[in-house]
Amino acid sequence: MDPILIIVFAPLIASIIAGLGNRMLGDLAAKSITTGALFLAAALSWPIFIGFLNGSESAHVVPVLKWVQSGDMTFDWALRVDALTAIMLVVINSVSALVHLYSWGYMEEDPDQPRFFAYLSLFTFAMLMLVTADNLVQMFFGWEGVGLASYLLIGFWFKKPSAGAAAIKAFVVNRVGDLGFMLGIFGTFLVFQTTSIPEILAASAGMSGSTIGFLGMRLPTMDILCFLLFIGAMGKSAQLGLHTWLPDAMEGPTPVSALIHAATMVTAGVFMVCRLSPMFEAAPTALMIVTIVGAATCFFAATIGTTQWDIKRVIAYSTCSQLGYMFFAAGVGAYGVAMFHLFTHAFFKALLFLGAGSVIHAMHHEQDMRYYGGLRKAIPVTFIAMLLGTLAITGLGVYHLGAGFAGFWSKDAILEAAFARGTTSSTIAFWAGVSAALLTSFYSWRLMFLTFWGKPRWIESEHIQHSVHKTPEEAGEDTTGGYHPHESPKSMLIPLIVLSIGAVLAGQVFAPSFIDGSAEAVNGAFFAGSIYFNENLIHALHGVPYWVKYSAFVVMVLGFVGAYIAYIAKPDIPAKFVATFGALHNFVFRKWYFDELYDAIFVKPAFWLGRQFWKLGDIGFIDRFGPNGIAAVVQRGSAAAKVIQSGYLYTYALIMLLGLIAAVTYVLL
């Protein structure tokens, strides 16, 4: 049996057992089965990945079951294993296994644990189906499957109204993207008469000059197809315009945020663009859109990240921003680099989220950073882990030393690629990326300083007040309120430590493989045709001027210094800034008013229209003039008929007489 079958189906089976067994099975059994399945899957995934690194594995497809055959349209269940899949396998299964383990501690007091673990494993299965898809429809299956799991996990604490609302929002906004994805699949089938990804990719270049009719317009075929598919990617990867669901998704338990809304599911859009890279390379306009959307998102989300108080929301906007980097990397043709950032980001962002979860755990479910402070000594392991994560995301590293944290390798490569590409859109992306790097450094250090440095501000938090049974007045001078944060249990710390190692080393170790394709030569050997590999661009990327190579370093330092001044040296600066630039701050703090805008132009009108159609359309018009109208006519007619059907003999005689006269008249004349 091919190991990929075990990798993919073990989580599914575990999920079904834990989910249906639920209370009969008990917490411990449910947790053990799901976590065990995931560690098994992770253990089997690494050899495949390493096999592709050293060239001993080759791409293959494992057929599973016939799915659909309808006329010329056929697609089957099958698992595709190639280098691109292998990258995703290790990312998904490693992070998922660690998150399962972490949840033992984090969810310890939850009464509903089997359901939680069942959902986590179900998610992993769906994500694996997505990345092993050999045809667009199976990819869509995984795509919707992760959407379902995301919906269930965001709404896991379903008693909270905000969780229910966030879950629906996530699903429905994603469906907007899915509309594009589905139309993209339909169009692709129409053009290529197949949904098989390898066949489509092989034929893409040949279609690059053709045109097609779409909504009454005549458009370049590949551009419109790729654009439609990219709308799907924008939904899943929370890109500008379809990003509004991601911050709200933080209503879910923190391990979920780490697994789904940071490391894996939200990167599905990037994966899709990379998987279909030969197709996108036949679509210059679509690629330009990918670049611009990615660049805009990476800047826009980073601005919001600088103003939020909720620790998870800061990291959520950071995720959104980092996904923007990956997209513009893909847009300029550096797909390997995009995948590299996806890979490193999975480690350090999962680390940051799990670290934040550990902080929240220690602070009695308080998520507002205004009530943190001085936690460095109370929870030292968490602190170190978060520090390493922050160094990784801000991209600490020095080019001439050839050493750095994970984010240094991947983010800098993205900026270099954007610069080296040299078009207008890629140059815009470069500058947006540099600006966002400055903001990234600022908000990341702001988070660190607010949480771990300074004086404790704990007693202001209602959660802490509940815990210590004191009001701020009663606590007086002691701003800790007498609260003692505890370091998290081992089950939570071990994942932090493992991910810390990834955040430190993932870039250094894997940079040659991901960026150059192999350690020795620039030939894309690692990817082995699983993505479009642009050899010249990689050469040019290495050859950019030194100021480009150091730009990210410089802005990282500036961001750090800015955050240090604002939150350590002169803590009154933020308040003054807000007072001076109130309108600007409000605009950013309110997340550029996207939610308000969408509510006003989509949600409210939909309900209003629904009511109008119902009350005025169905009841007021169709029923009134349709069945009820006919009934009224019949009633009136029968009322008239009643007059003559009086039952008196003389009326009948009269009518008969009149009728007779009429008949005779008719015959005679």
Partner 1 sequence: MDFPILTTMMLVPLVGAILSLFVQAAAARRIALAATLVTFGLGVLLWINYEIGGAQWQFQERYELFAGFSYALGIDGISLLLIMLSVFLMPICILASWEAITKRVGEYMAAFLFMEVLMIGTFAAQDIFLFYIFFEAGLIPMYLIIGVWGGDNRIYASYKFFLYTLLGSVVMLVAMFWMVAQAGSSDIPTLMQYPFPPEAQFWLFLAFFASFAVKMPMWPVHTWLPDAHVQAPTAGSVILAGVLLKLGGYGFIRFSLPMFPDASADLAWVIFALSMIAVVYTSLVALVQHDMKKLIAYSSVAHMALVTAGLFAFNVQGIEGAMMIMLGHGLVSGALFLCVGVIYDRLHTREIDRYGGLSINMPYYALFFLLFTMASIGLPGTSNFIGEFLALAGIYQASSWVALICTTGIILGAGYMLYLYRRVAFGDQKNPDAAAMGDITPREWAMMAPIAAVVLWMGVYPESFLAPMRADIAALDAQIAASAPAGDADLVAGEPRAQSANAIEYDAHSAEGAH
Residues 293-332 binding partner 1 (CB under 8 A) are 332
Determine if 280 is a binding residue for partner 1 (CB under 8 A): yes
Residue 207 makes contact with partner 1 by CB under 8 A: yes
What's the distance, Cα to Cα, between the start and end of the chain in Å? 97
In whole angstroms, the minimum distance from the beta carbon of 282 to partner 1 comes to: 7
| Distance between CA atoms of residues 645 and 290, nearest Å | 78
CB distance 236 to 143 below 8 Å: yes
Q: Which of 577, 581, 613, 652 binds partner 1 (CB under 8 A)?
A: 613
Least distance to partner 1, CB of residue 187, Å = 7
Give the range of 1-9, 32-40, 248-256, 280-288 binding partner 1 by CB under 8 A: 280-288
Residue with Cβ nearer partner 1 (141 or 442): 141
In whole angstroms, how close is the CB of 105 to partner 1 at the nearest point? 25
- Rounded to the nearest whole angstrom, what is the least distance from the CB of residue 410 to partner 1 in the complex? 17
Interface residue with partner 1, options 310, 542, 578, 595 (CB under 8 A): 542
Largest CA distance in the chain: 120
Q: In angstroms, give the least distance from the CB of 257 to partner 1.
A: 19
Residues 428-467 that bind partner 1 (CB under 8 A): none
Closest CB to partner 1 among 65 and 649? 65
Q: Per residue, what are the HEC states of 273-301? A: HHHCHHHHCCCHHHHHHHHHHHHHHHHHH
Please, what is the minimum distance in Å from the beta carbon of residue 148 to partner 1? 6
Structure tokens at 252: 């879910």
Minimum distance from residue 397 beta carbon to partner 1 (Å): 15
Q: Which two tokens stand for residue 369?
A: 């950073």
The number of helix segments (H) and strand segments (E) in the chain equals 30, 6
Q: Which residue has the tokens 């003559």?
A: 644
Q: Which of 347, 532, 560, 567 binds partner 1 (CB under 8 A)?
A: 532
Nearer to partner 1, 108 or 112 (CB): 112
Which helix (H) or strand (E) segment is 590 a member of? Answer: none
Q: Does 637 help bind partner 1 (rule: CB under 8 A)?
A: no
Give residues 583-612 in contact with partner 1 (rule: CB under 8 A). 606-607, 609-611
In b/e form, how buried is each residue of 59-75, taking b as 16+ CB within 10 angstroms?
A: bebbebeeeeeeeeeeb
238 vs 320: CA distance, rounded Å? 6
Closest approach of Cβ 630 to partner 1, in Å?
A: 7
> Is there binding between residue 178 and partner 1 (CB under 8 A)?
yes
The binder of partner 1 chosen from 18, 91, 191, 363 (CB under 8 A): 191
Q: Which stretch binds partner 1 (CB under 8 A): 321-329, 485-493, 530-538, 567-575?
A: 530-538
Least Å from the CB of residue 341 to partner 1: 17
> Between residues 614 and 652, which has the closer beta carbon with respect to partner 1?
614
- Footprint of partner 1 on 375-404 (CB under 8 A): 399
Binding mask 146-175 for partner 1 (x = CB under 8 A): --x--x---x--xx-x-xxx-xx--xx--x
Residue 597 one-letter amino acid: L
Contact 385, 355 (CB under 8 A): yes
Contact between 498 and 389 under an 8 Å Cβ cutoff? The reply is no
What is the DSSP code string of 468-483? HT--HHHHTT-TTTT-
Residue 418, H or E segment: helix 406-421
DSSP secondary structure, 153-204, as one string = HHTSSTTSHHHHHHHHHHHHHHHHHHHHHHHHHHHHHHHHS--BHHHHHHHH
The answer to whether 516 touches 538, Cβ cutoff 8 Å, is: yes
Choose which of 1, 56, 109, 216 interacts with partner 1 (CB under 8 A).
216
- 524 binding partner 1? (CB under 8 A): no
Residue entry with tokens 């290495």 = 542
Instruction: Name which position in 21, 44, 47, 186 contacts partner 1 (CB under 8 A).
Output: 186
Smaller CB separation from partner 1, 59 or 168: 168
Q: Rule CB under 8 A: which of 14-33 touch partner 1?
A: 22
Alpha-carbon distance of 382 to 452, in angstroms, equals 10
User: What is the closest distance, in whole angstroms, from the C-beta atom of residue 540 to partner 1 in the complex?
Assistant: 5
* Pattern 328-357, partner 1, x by CB under 8 A: ----xx------------------------
CB of 40 to partner 1, least distance (A): 23
Q: Do residues 479 and 457 lie in contact, with contact meaning Cβ atoms separated by under 8 Å?
A: yes
Nearer to partner 1 among residue 143 and residue 442 (C-beta):
143
**What's the CA dihedral at 421, 426, 430, 432 to 10 degrees?**
-170
Q: How far is the CB of 564 from partner 1 (least distance, A)?
A: 30
| Residue 7 binding partner 1, by CB under 8 A | no
Question: How many other CB atoms are there within 10 angstroms of residue 505's CB atom?
Answer: 15
Can you tell me which residue has the tokens 């989220």? 353
Place of tokens 């308040």: 575
Q: State which of positions 42-101 bind partner 1 (CB under 8 A).
A: 65-73, 77
- By beta-carbon proximity to partner 1, the closer residue of 92 and 544 is 544
292 burial (CB, 10 Å; 0-12 / 13-18 / 19+) is: buried
| Nearest distance, CB of residue 106 and partner 1, angstroms | 21
- The encoded tokens of residue 381 equal 């392991």
- Calpha distance 301→516 (Å, rounded): 30
Minimum Å distance from CB 606 to partner 1? 6
- Rounded to whole angstroms, what are the CA distances from 523 to 32, 276, 355, 434, 516? 43, 19, 38, 28, 7
- Please identify, using beta-carbon distances, which residue of 211 and 435 lies nearer to partner 1: 211
Grouping H, G, I as helix, E, B as strand and the rest as coil, residue 266 is helix
* CA pair distance 123, 101, nearest whole angstrom: 15
Using CA atoms, how far apart are residues 277 and 287, in angstroms rounded to an integer? 10
If binding is defined by CB under 8 A, does position 179 make contact with partner 1?
Answer: yes
Rg (CA), the chain: 30
Q: Which is nearer to partner 1, 478 or 535 (CB)?
A: 535
Binding mask 233-272 for partner 1 (x = CB under 8 A): ----------------------------------------
Among the listed ranges 140-148, 347-355, 390-398, 496-504, the one in contact with partner 1 (CB under 8 A) is: 140-148
CA angle in degrees (0–180, nearest 5) for 63-65-67: 120
- Residue with Cβ nearer partner 1 (148 or 557): 148
Which position among 5, 50, 202, 205 is part of the footprint of partner 1 (CB under 8 A)? 205
Please report how close the Cβ of residue 551 comes to partner 1 at its closest, in angstroms. Answer: 12
Q: How many residues belong to the site for partner 1 (CB under 8 A)? A: 95
Q: Which of 26, 55, 213, 380 binds partner 1 (CB under 8 A)?
A: 213
The least distance separating partner 1 from the CB of residue 176, rounded to whole angstroms, comes to: 6
Distance CA 579, CA 517 (A): 51
x/- track of binding to partner 1 for residues 357-376 (CB under 8 A): --------------------
